[in-house]
Structure 1
């Protein structure tokens, strides 16, 4: 299997079609707010989110992303509704980005990097493996990469928010949304595997069976 197919498979494990459940309501709000009053746009986007959840329930499909989309658009739409200002829709996003930066940076400072926790929770790998001196640096560096990206997004969105540049906010959030997240995940995976290889630590499978060196190292999954 070539590296391209491997990366695509890894991305599929994180990104599925169901993520659209969380992406559609915000897009509906932003489009509707261009033609309708902010309050009506907020109501419509929440209604769309509820409709998506209802469809998933009828089809007996997972509701996780639909629920996340409902919560997200309800909070953001609520800010816009109460403030009567479309730009207020982005306040929760700024709060979320700021919280992410604080938590990610804090995890690096205490040497328990966020990237390691994310991998542990999504893959179920033994958390002790991530804290090895020949494994941890890869996850520390990837977490710093995430922190810089989130910090840049926070800076740009906050600047545009203060200028009440709605078109700019929509453009930046579109570019720095799913497209940028896919880019970040791809770079994180490629760099992470490369870094683990150069750290020369054991792969997770070798760690689990307590294999003695020399190790083959982590060749798939980060």
Structure 2
């Protein structure tokens, strides 16, 4: 049985204070654009992202993440300012979701689900373990969950983008961002552990040590 404490620790690892970085710049952009103009809104959004990046660096957090968020805001603000359309602030995010959806579907097509790659990169577990026939189906199914979620998010955001409703774009981009993503990650983790148990394969430590069946299976982490 997955413990609540275990789920909290997994979520803490995933989130790592990123919510403010994702929420503050677009919120300032939408509010200031409605009161002033695109130039002011873009400038303040970029400055807020810059301050958050400096804070991340001073807190000795990963500089790749700190400047990754800043780069994203600069791109989004640039799109909207050059085009003269505030809704284009959210266009890079929509395009990145389309790109991730394509990558997810391609990974399923070639039999190397992206959920396995994500776990490998974040946890450092051996790739050979992920491709076992008694392990891979769990990551394949979770990749399908991710793909369907991203597809739904893209369709909703594209429809609102076409209608050129900037405030609605911000609201739905926020709702479909971290709130729902957290839910999907929880479902993925709980389902993934359950599926690994059903498959009866070895846990990563059992695989690494060369243990023979019967296996205890993966008891924590996915």
Query: Smaller-chain TM-score range?
Result: over 0.9
Corresponding residue for residue 86 of structure 1: 86
Q: Is the 8 A contact 2:197 2:217 kept in 1?
A: yes
Say if 1:201 and 1:170 are closer, same or farther in 2 by CA, change over 3 A: same
- Normalised by the length of structure 1, the TM-score is 0.94
- In the TM superposition, residue 198 of structure 1 has moved relative to its aligned partner by 0.3
Unmatched 5+ stretches in structure 1: none
Corresponding residue for residue 177 of structure 1: 177
Say if 1:204 and 1:61 are closer, same or farther in 2 by CA, change over 3 A: closer
CA distance in 2, matches of 1:64, 1:22: 15
Which region of structure 1 is more displaced relative to structure 2, 52-61 or 196-205? 52-61
CA displacement 1:187-207 (0-9 Å, x = unmatched)? 000000000000010000100
Corresponding residue for residue 192 of structure 1: 192
Q: Is the 8 A contact 1:21 1:49 kept in 2?
A: yes
Corresponding residue for residue 148 of structure 2: 148
Which region of structure 1 is more displaced relative to structure 2, 78-87 or 9-18? 9-18
Corresponding residue for residue 166 of structure 1: 166
CA distance in 1, matches of 2:184, 2:44: 32
Which region of structure 1 is more displaced relative to structure 2, 149-158 or 61-70? 61-70
CA distance in 2, matches of 1:59, 1:204: 33
Corresponding residue for residue 77 of structure 2: 77
Q: How many residues align?
A: 222
Q: Is the 8 A contact 1:29 1:45 kept in 2?
A: yes
CA distance in 2, matches of 1:213, 1:184: 32
SS of the equivalent of 1:33 reads helix
SS of the equivalent of 1:184 reads helix
Say if 1:219 and 1:58 are closer, same or farther in 2 by CA, change over 3 A: closer
CA distance in 1, matches of 2:191, 2:139: 10
Q: Is the 8 A contact 1:23 1:69 kept in 2?
A: no
Q: Is the 8 A contact 2:113 2:143 kept in 1?
A: yes
Is residue 157 of structure 1 aligned with residue 157 of structure 2? Answer: yes
Q: Is the 8 A contact 1:18 1:65 kept in 2?
A: no
- In the TM superposition, residue 25 of structure 1 has moved relative to its aligned partner by 2.0
Corresponding residue for residue 102 of structure 1: 102
Q: Is the 8 A contact 2:23 2:174 kept in 1?
A: no
Corresponding residue for residue 13 of structure 1: 13
Unmatched 5+ stretches in structure 2: none
